[in-house]
Chains A and B, each alone.
Chain A
Amino acid sequence: RKEVEQDPGPFNVPEGATVAFNCTYSNSASQSFFWYRQDCRKEPKLLMSVYSSGNEDGRFTAQLNRASQYISLLIRDSKLSDSATYLCVVDNYGQNFVFGPGTRLSVLP
């Protein structure tokens, strides 16, 4: 089993749709969690951290369930500019990040 697994995608959704991505991780000792966004042929950039109580940043909501070792990202009112690959990231032991394979999102006009 891979350390971090994500929905394989791709997700093709119309503008204005709500879309949810799922991520599971295998290491129960993982300490912190993030969602990164990667545009085509660009470097990954932090989208948001994921906190135990759940957190929201504008149209984006992240949830963490430590018992199930599950992380989610919800995007409301999708924009064309949201088209990208979304990477689930888990921090193990405070030393290095483990990146999921990513889920590609295409928002269609």
Chain B
Amino acid sequence: NAGVTQTPKFRILKIGQSMTLQCTQDMNHNYMYWYRQDPGMGLKLIYYSVGAGITDKGEVPNGYNVSRSTTEDFPLRLELAAPSQTSVYFCASRLGASSTDTQYFGPGTRLTVL
């Protein structure tokens, strides 16, 4: 049981380039999330999904897109990279909405946009 996996671990992009951050979970969790964490700051929710085919915006969705075609995968797409998107990106999953259901995080992707 690998939990939540993310690829790549590190990436450097040039301004205007595009990329997809991959996230996969093998726990059959319904809920999945994307967060970004800037240096010395807290986590901010970008997008989340409560099941395959359903996605919704979080606090900071601008500049990003997501899709959820399967329960396992929740990729995050950056279309036109900007320096403001330099951050650490964490994917997380959760079984459901019960008060005892907690979030499990992947190891993160460190992205630098130059």
What residues of chain A have their CB less than 8 Å away from a CB belonging to chain B? 31-32, 34, 41-46, 49, 87, 91, 94-102
Contact = CB atoms under 8 A, between A and B. Distances in A.
Interface of B: 31, 33, 35, 41-43, 45, 48, 50, 58, 88, 90, 96-100, 102-108
A50 to B, nearest CB: 10
A44 B42 contact: no
B99 A44 contact: no
Nearest to B105: A43
21 contacts: A31-B99, A32-B99, A32-B100, A42-B107, A42-B108, A43-B90, A43-B105, A43-B107, A44-B90, A46-B102, A46-B103, A46-B104, A49-B100, A49-B102, A87-B42, A95-B50, A96-B58, A97-B45, A99-B35, A99-B43, A101-B41
A20 B90 CA distance: 27
Contacts of B102: 34, 46, 49
A59 B108 CA distance: 29
A46 B36 CA distance: 18
Most chain A beta-carbon neighbours within 10 Å: one of B31, B96, B103, B106 = B103
Contacts of A45: 105
Contacts of A91: 99
A43 B41 CA distance: 13
A99 B97 CA distance: 16
Contacts of B50: 95
A79 B50 CA distance: 38
B33 A96 contact: yes
A32 B107 CA distance: 24
